[in-house]
């Protein structure tokens, strides 16, 4: 006998302990078990999962968005696919997962479960632009391999956990645009902190609510940061001079905080710096000296309280400066003419200062200069030679000069800055916006590329966009079928970010499939593509044009049932289960409860027909001996054939076990309301000539007890047993949760589980059933069958659905052991419990009839049974939970069958098939220079 043991929690140590298989095989089985559990929970909890997630093996036959290596899911990449729902705990049992990218699914909500820390192989966690909330769990610090962590644009709150300092391999940390608060965590002798992230290149923490000071300890010369982005927080105190020790820095954004004090002198040591944003703080002291920071392109020091001073020398010496923003910084003195000749200069904003003297445009004024904003200064005069007014705007309003006659046509001409530029480099296809011709049109995928820093300010220079599109397009086209990438507009948004509207066109007038959309999203938000402009993120407009029809996501459940065709076995006698105990005598005084029926009210019964005694006599050939298929304490069971040809089983109560008319009526009313494929269907009844008979559908393969005892000739392998268990459990779930009114069976046992065609289980015999509403709670007389009886019910006489769960647990153990619950004074429940306690398993008790079988999931089945057999009803699972658990076992068996039948196939490694890139452009220890901006073609 092969027993395949699955650990309940999908952890590897548990596997080693429980497995009695060769390690390698069982490893795969365990993996599959976990896979099924995890992916099914995704399916159950998410809306809009890909329609092809109905196939059996997610790895062998590629589910969209799921990438495997040797039957292990290593990547889940589903950005931009309209997923909605919480992130289920179970996904976190995919311990081999390396990439989880769910960006731009705004319907994904709820917290990031703390068990995220179990994904010890995770390299990239990309959840940009979802709707997650709650704290970032402390356990994130366990993800030792993590290099890319993107949680930006969600609703995370609380502090950054100190444990993040344990992520020694982290390269990108992006927590921007959340609701995080508190101080930035720093390490001490006992606790880690952000300062320990020595391999990190990117701290993107902007647009949160971080407060307190920027600690000096946060920065050190051992760090290799290239971007520090902390804009729009509530940081105070001064800028620590340790910032000047990180010589690798190319971008600093500290704007829109409450920083004060003077800017540390040694910032000028950052000679690699491209962009410096210190605007909108309370900085004081001298204007920082930026001499020798020759790579600076974009400097924004606006809205600070620096000491009153003339425009500093460095204005004139920064060769690559494109943008100088020093609004409201208490500048005085003349405007440097030399600065206006800087060759790359595009934008100079010196508004709201005290600049005076004359503005003189130099003869060699930069041809790229687009704007000089000097509004609200004390400029006396304006000297200019020839300049192209359509290219260069000069804004001089609110200066002394404006009071002079020469100012005519120069002042008061200020137009608002044109921050929105429609781009025409790539016109959309003609029918793109015409919804009526949707089907013939190419459906582009639209989104925004948002740059948090950039090295130019001339949005009208089309070369920038052409360059971006020209480098992005081939990068994507290697990975996605793609016609072209178009940038359709550019603007600076309220945060000072550059927002480029982008359209991705699928080839050949077609649609993108999910894989296409998700690959675009992953390439961008996981930063597989490095832009020439610096850090960016990507948000999209939900793509609704997926080509396939949306299929309801009920899926795997159906799988378990389908495709399992049994050879119809020799039909043994279809004996009905019978009551082993007489129904106790009734105290009730009986009126004739049928009187109203006789008056024609029978149709209250849904579908149950009234049969006359003669009808029944005829269809059983006068109750002939040949028609008799069983006998029980209360009477005989006959097989009959109705005039329609339908086979029925007729239970005929014998004298002495007739029920009171009231009971009989109750039973009929009850049974006639119940219609489910796993519950025996009542066709009609006979209450005539002093007889009581119930007419049921005929169930051909006898009872489960008969099958287990070998009497009926039905062979029950493990898979069939699981299917019988799940069928019976579904029948009970129906009675408990879906029947109206709900019903407690009260006498679940293997005799009362009948086997129909294909061994479909049907729950039978509601002799003891009572409507849940009427009868829940205290009962006067405990009823049931010894061996199956819920001890809690027995002792308290309080009846709940959980009593059926107990009895069902006993049936589950019958399925495993083949034994009757009470056999030769041995109580099978006790035997199994003892075995589990002593040996940790129940292998010795397994039914010998299963000895040649592979018992996939047996462990879990037994543990589930034991949960059903808890003494306290509250601790037992519900029947619907039982159904779900058994369904998973069936799926695991299916998967394994499939694998066994295709073990030679090498196709399980589907991951590379789609050409999906595993690796980042950066690996954690690379010394790759990130600073392509330094050699950007725009600045030459
Ligand atoms: C796939 O698995 C094999 C064996 O476990 C391993 O050697 C290989 O590196 C894996 N490939 C990827 C891309 O993870
Ligand atoms: C985001 O989640 C919150 C609850 O956490 C919910 O109220 C809101 O509707 C969600 N937004 C979207 C777009 O789903
Ligand atoms: C998985 O995560 C949970 C919750 O954080 C934790 O209790 C459990 O120990 C973890 N399991 C492993 C194997 O790390
Ligand atoms: C280290 O920092 C943690 C968190 O800020 C704090 O609780 C702890 O007291 C500190 N330990 C020492 C030795 O300073
Ligand atoms: C910074 O803000 C915190 C409150 O967030 C306050 O307690 C502290 O005194 C402030 N420090 C300075 C230097 O203003
Ligand atoms: C900066 O300017 C110098 C001199 O004009 C030039 O040689 C260099 O290429 C520029 N650097 C960048 C990054 O454009």
Q: Tally Cβ neighbours within 10 Å of residue 908.
A: 19
Has residue 245 got a pLDDT over 50? yes
Query: Does the Cβ of 940 fall within 6 Å of ligand 6?
Result: yes
258 CA → ligand 5 middle, Å: 10
238 CA → ligand 4 middle, Å: 23
Q: In whole angstroms, what is the distance from residue 540 CA to residue 79 CA?
A: 10
Q: Which ligand 3 atom is nearest residue 11's CA?
A: 13
Least confident interval from 487-501, 532-546, 868-882, 915-929: 915-929
Query: Does the Cβ of 295 fall within 6 Å of ligand 6?
Result: yes
Q: How distant, in Å, are the alpha carbons of 239, 713, 741, 811, 865 from that of 878?
A: 59, 32, 17, 15, 12
pLDDT digits (tens, 9 = 90+) for 169-212: 999 999 999 999 999 999 999 999 999 999 999 999 999 999 99
The arithmetic mean of pLDDT across residues 245-257, rounded, is 96
pLDDT digits (tens, 9 = 90+) for 253-295: 999 999 999 999 999 999 999 999 999 999 999 999 998 899 9
3-class secondary-structure state, position 443 = coil
Ligand sitting nearest the alpha carbon of 154: 2
Q: In whole angstroms, what is the distance from residue 455 CA to residue 467 CA?
A: 14
Look at residues 137, 93, 128, 90 and name the one whose alpha carbon lies nearest to residue 108. Answer: 128
> What does the pLDDT read at residue 108?
95
Has residue 606 got a pLDDT over 70? no
β pairing state of 298-300 and 743-744: unpaired
The CATH class that applies to domain 609-697 reads alpha beta
133 CA → ligand 3 middle, Å: 21
Ligand sitting nearest the alpha carbon of 92: 3
131 CA → ligand 2 middle, Å: 6
237 CA → ligand 5 middle, Å: 7
Has residue 644 got a pLDDT over 90? no
- For residue 402, give both structure tokens: 């404006």
- Total length of the chain: 940
Measured in Å, how far apart are the chain's first and last C-alpha atoms? 75
> What does the pLDDT read at residue 633?
55
Q: Do residues 316 and 338 lie in contact, with contact meaning Cβ atoms separated by under 8 Å?
A: yes
> What does the pLDDT read at residue 558?
26
Query: Does the Cβ of 319 fall within 6 Å of ligand 6?
Result: yes
Residue 55: band (very low, low, confident or very high) from pLDDT cuts 50, 70, 90: low
163 CA → ligand 4 middle, Å: 12
| Most ligand 2 atoms within 8 A of CB, residue of 104, 131, 156, 541 to mutate | 131
Q: Can you state the angle between helices 801-817 and 879-901, rounded to 10 degrees? A: 30
Q: In whole angstroms, what is the distance from residue 157 CA to residue 177 CA?
A: 10
The arithmetic mean of pLDDT across residues 678-707, rounded, is 87
Q: In whole angstroms, what is the distance from residue 785 CA to residue 579 CA?
A: 9
> What does the pLDDT read at residue 682?
85
- For residue 116, give both structure tokens: 């995220």
Query: Does the Cβ of 134 fall within 6 Å of ligand 2?
Result: no
Query: Does the Cβ of 93 fall within 6 Å of ligand 3?
Result: no
**Is 609 buried (19+), middle (13-18) or exposed (0-12) by CB count in 10 A?**
middle
The arithmetic mean of pLDDT across residues 569-588, rounded, is 22
Average pLDDT, the chain: 79
Q: In whole angstroms, what is the distance from residue 306 CA to residue 197 CA?
A: 33
Ligand sitting nearest the alpha carbon of 24: 1
Can you say how many angstroms the Cα of residue 219 is from the centroid of all Cα atoms in its chain? 35
Question: What residues are in contact with ligand 5 under a 6 Å CB criterion?
Answer: 211-212, 236-237
3-class secondary-structure state, position 665 = helix
Least confident interval from 424-433, 564-573, 931-940: 564-573
181 CA → ligand 5 middle, Å: 14
214 CA → ligand 4 middle, Å: 17
13 vs 693 pLDDT, higher one: 693
Q: Do residues 503 and 476 lie in contact, with contact meaning Cβ atoms separated by under 8 Å?
A: no
| Most ligand 3 atoms within 8 A of CB, residue of 115, 121, 135, 141 to mutate | 115
Residue 72: band (very low, low, confident or very high) from pLDDT cuts 50, 70, 90: confident
Residue 56: band (very low, low, confident or very high) from pLDDT cuts 50, 70, 90: low
Query: Does the Cβ of 191 fall within 6 Å of ligand 4?
Result: yes
The arithmetic mean of pLDDT across residues 740-746, rounded, is 82
Ligand sitting nearest the alpha carbon of 111: 2
Q: Tally Cβ neighbours within 10 Å of residue 20.
A: 12
Has residue 601 got a pLDDT over 90? no
Look at residues 283, 282, 279 and name the one whose alpha carbon lies nearest to residue 302. Answer: 279
What is the fold of 430-540? Alpha-Beta Plaits (3.30.70)
Q: Do residues 402 and 377 lie in contact, with contact meaning Cβ atoms separated by under 8 Å?
A: no
**Domain covering 714-935 in this structure, CATH number:** 1.10.510.10
pLDDT digits (tens, 9 = 90+) for 101-157: 999 999 999 999 998 998 999 999 999 999 999 999 999 999 999 999 999 999 999
Has residue 451 got a pLDDT over 90? yes
Has residue 592 got a pLDDT over 90? no
Has residue 577 got a pLDDT over 80? no
> What does the pLDDT read at residue 637?
83
Look at residues 884, 899, 905, 897 and name the one whose alpha carbon lies nearest to residue 854. Answer: 897
Q: What percent of the chain has pLDDT over 70?
A: 78
CA angle 146, 149, 153 (to 5 degrees): 165
Query: Does the Cβ of 330 fall within 6 Å of ligand 2?
Result: no
Query: Does the Cβ of 113 fall within 6 Å of ligand 3?
Result: no
- Domains in the chain: boundaries: 430-540, 609-697, 714-935
915 vs 835 pLDDT, higher one: 835
Q: Which ligand 4 atom is nearest residue 188's CA?
A: 1
Q: Whose Cα sits closest to atom 8 in ligand 6? A: 940
Query: Does the Cβ of 189 fall within 6 Å of ligand 4?
Result: yes
pLDDT digits (tens, 9 = 90+) for 647-680: 898 888 777 666 667 777 777 777 777 888 999 8
108 CA → ligand 2 middle, Å: 8
Q: What percent of the chain has pLDDT over 90?
A: 38
Q: Is the pTM of this model over 0.85?
A: no
The arithmetic mean of pLDDT across residues 36-59, rounded, is 77
72 CA → ligand 1 middle, Å: 10
* Full DSSP string of 752-779: GEEE-GGG-EEE---TT-EEHHHH-EE-
Q: In whole angstroms, what is the distance from residue 774 CA to residue 666 CA?
A: 12
> What does the pLDDT read at residue 670?
74
Task: Kindly report the backbone phi and psi dihedral angles of residue 434, in degrees, each rounded to the nearest multiple of 5, phi listed first.
Answer: -100, 100
Q: How distant, in Å, are the alpha carbons of 486, 747, 937 from that of 426?
A: 5, 73, 21
Q: Which ligand 6 atom is nearest residue 940's CA?
A: 14
Q: In whole angstroms, what is the distance from residue 679 CA to residue 672 CA?
A: 11
3-class secondary-structure state, position 421 = strand
Look at residues 334, 412, 339, 410 and name the one whose alpha carbon lies nearest to residue 379. Answer: 334
Q: Tally Cβ neighbours within 10 Å of residue 102.
A: 28
Ligand sitting nearest the alpha carbon of 10: 3
Q: In whole angstroms, what is the distance from residue 525 CA to residue 447 CA?
A: 12
Residue 160: band (very low, low, confident or very high) from pLDDT cuts 50, 70, 90: very high
Query: Does the Cβ of 131 fall within 6 Å of ligand 2?
Result: yes
Q: In whole angstroms, what is the distance from residue 47 CA to residue 553 CA?
A: 8
What sign does the dihedral 398-399-403-406 (CA atoms) show?
negative
Has residue 934 got a pLDDT over 70? no
Q: Do residues 228 and 204 lie in contact, with contact meaning Cβ atoms separated by under 8 Å?
A: no
Q: Which ligand 1 atom is nearest residue 911's CA?
A: 13
Q: Which ligand 5 atom is nearest residue 211's CA?
A: 5
Q: Which ligand 2 atom is nearest residue 107's CA?
A: 14
As annotated, the active-site residues are 747
> What does the pLDDT read at residue 918?
41
Ligand sitting nearest the alpha carbon of 59: 1
Q: Whose Cα sits closest to atom 14 in ligand 1? A: 69
Query: Does the Cβ of 139 fall within 6 Å of ligand 3?
Result: yes
Q: Which ligand 6 atom is nearest residue 939's CA?
A: 14
Q: Whose Cα sits closest to atom 6 in ligand 1? A: 69
164 CA → ligand 5 middle, Å: 24
Q: Do residues 363 and 340 lie in contact, with contact meaning Cβ atoms separated by under 8 Å?
A: no
Has residue 550 got a pLDDT over 60? no
Helix (H) or strand (E) holding 52: none
| Most ligand 4 atoms within 8 A of CB, residue of 163, 190, 218 to mutate | 190
């Amino acid at each position: 006998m092969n027993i395949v043991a699955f650990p309940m929690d999908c952890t590897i140590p548990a596997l080693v302990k429980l497995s009695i298989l060769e390690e390698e095989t069982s490893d795969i089985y365990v993996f599959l078990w976990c896979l099924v559990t995890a992916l099914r929970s995704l399916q159950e909890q998410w809306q809009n999962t890909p329609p092809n997630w109905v196939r059996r093996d997610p790895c062998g036959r590629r589910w969209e968005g799921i990438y495997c290596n040797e039957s292990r899911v290593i990547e889940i990449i589903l950005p931009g696919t309209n997923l909605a729902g919480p992130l289920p705990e179970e996904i976190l049992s995919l311990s081999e997962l390396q990439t989880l990218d769910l960006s731009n699914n705004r319907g994904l909500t709820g917290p990031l479960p703390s068990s995220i820390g179990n994904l010890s192989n995770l390299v990239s966690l990309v959840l940009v632009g979802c709707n997650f909330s709650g704290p970032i769990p402390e356990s994130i610090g366990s993800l030792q391999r993590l290099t890319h962590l993107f949680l930006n644009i969600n609703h995370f709150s609380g502090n950054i956990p100190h444990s993040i300092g344990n992520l020694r391999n982290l390269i990108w940390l992006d927590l921007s645009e959340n609701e995080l608060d508190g101080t930035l965590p720093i390490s001490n002798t006992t606790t880690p902190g952000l300062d320990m992230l020595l391999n990190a290149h990117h701290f993107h923490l902007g647009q949160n609510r971080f407060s307190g000071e920027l600690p000096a300890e946060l920065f050190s010369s051992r760090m290799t940061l290239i971007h520090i982005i902390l804009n729009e927080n509530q940081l105070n105190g001064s800028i620590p001079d340790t910032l000047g020790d990180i010589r690798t820095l190319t971008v600093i954004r500290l704007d829109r905080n409450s920083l004060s004090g003077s800017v540390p002198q040694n910032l000028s040591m950052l000679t690699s710096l491209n962009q410096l944003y210190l605007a909108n703080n309370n900085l004081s002291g001298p204007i920082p000296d930026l001499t020798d920071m020759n790579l600076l392109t974009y400097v924004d020091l606006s809205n600070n309280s620096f000491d009153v001073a003339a425009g500093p020398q460095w204005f004139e010496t920064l060769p690559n400066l494109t943008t100088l923003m020093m609004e409201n910084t208490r500048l005085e003195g003349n405007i440097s003419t030399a600065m206006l000749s800087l060759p790359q200069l595009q934008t100079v904003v010196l508004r709201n200062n005290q600049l005076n003297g004359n503005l003189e445009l130099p003869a060699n004024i930069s041809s790229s200069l687009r704007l000089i904003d000097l509004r609200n200064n004390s400029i006396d005069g304006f000297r200019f030679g020839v300049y192209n007014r359509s290219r260069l705007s000069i804004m001089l309003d609110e200066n002394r000069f404006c009071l002079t006659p020469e100012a005519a046509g120069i002042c008061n001409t200020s137009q608002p800055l044109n921050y929105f530029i429609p781009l025409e480099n790539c016109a959309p296809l003609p029918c793109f916006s015409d919804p009526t011709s949707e089907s013939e049109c190419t459906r582009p995928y639209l989104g925004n590329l948002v740059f948090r820093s950039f090295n130019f300010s001339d949005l009208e220079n089309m070369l920038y966009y052409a360059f971006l599109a020209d480098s992005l397009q081939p990068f994507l086209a290697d990975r996605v079928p793609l016609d072209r990438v178009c940038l359709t507009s550019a603007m600076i948004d309220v945060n000072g970010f550059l927002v480029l509207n982008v359209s991705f066109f699928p080839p050949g007038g077609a649609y993108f499939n999910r894989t296409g959309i998700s690959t675009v999203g992953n390439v961008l938000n996981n930063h597989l593509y490095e832009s020439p402009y610096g850090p960016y993120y990507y948000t999209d407009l939900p793509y609704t044009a997926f080509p396939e029809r949306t299929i309801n996501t009920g899926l795997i459940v159906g799988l378990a049932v389908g495709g399992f065709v049994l050879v119809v076995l020799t039909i043994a006698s279809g004996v009905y289960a019978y009551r082993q105990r007489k129904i106790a005598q009734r105290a009730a005084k009986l009126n004739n409860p049928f009187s109203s029926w006789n008056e024609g009210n029978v149709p209250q019964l849904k579908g149950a027909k009234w049969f006359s005694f003669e009808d029944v006599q005829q269809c059983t050939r006068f109750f002939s001996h040949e028609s008799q298929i069983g006998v029980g304490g209360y009477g005989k069971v006959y097989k009959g054939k109705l005039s329609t040809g339908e086979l029925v089983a007729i239970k005929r109560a014998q004298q002495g076990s007739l029920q009171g008319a009231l009971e009989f009526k109750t039973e009929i009313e009850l049974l006639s309301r119940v219609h489910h494929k796993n519950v025996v269907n009542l066709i009609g009844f006979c209450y005539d000539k002093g007889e009581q008979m119930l007419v049921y559908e005929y169930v051909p393969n006898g009872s489960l007890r008969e099958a287990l005892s070998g009497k009926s000739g039905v062979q029950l392998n493990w898979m069939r047993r699981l299917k019988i268990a799940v069928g019976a459990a579904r029948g009970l779930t129906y009675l408990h949760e879906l029947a109206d009114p709900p019903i407690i069976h009260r006498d679940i046992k293997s005799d009362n589980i009948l086997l129909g065609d294909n061994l479909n289980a049907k729950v039978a015999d509601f002799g003891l059933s009572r409507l849940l509403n009427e009868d829940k709670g205290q009962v006067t007389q405990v009823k049931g069958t010894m061996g199956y009886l819920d001890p809690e019910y027995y002792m308290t006489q309080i009846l709940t659905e959980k009593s059926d769960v107990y009895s069902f647990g006993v049936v589950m153990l019958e399925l495993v052991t083949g034994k009757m619950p009470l056999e030769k004074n041995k109580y099978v429940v006790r035997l199994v419990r003892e075995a589990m306690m002593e040996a940790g398993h129940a292998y010795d008790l397994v039914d010998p009839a299963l000895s040649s079988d592979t018992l996939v999931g047996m462990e879990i089945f037994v543990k589930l049974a034991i949960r059903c057999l808890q003494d306290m009803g509250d601790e037992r699972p519900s029947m619907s939970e039982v159904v779900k658990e058994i369904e998973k076992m069936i799926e695991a068996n299916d998967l394994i069958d499939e694998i066994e039948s295709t073990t030679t196939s090498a196709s399980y490694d589907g991951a590379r098939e789609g050409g999906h890139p595993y690796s980042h452009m950066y690996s954690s220890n690379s010394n790759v220079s990130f600073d392509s901006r330094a050699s950007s073609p725009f600045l030459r």
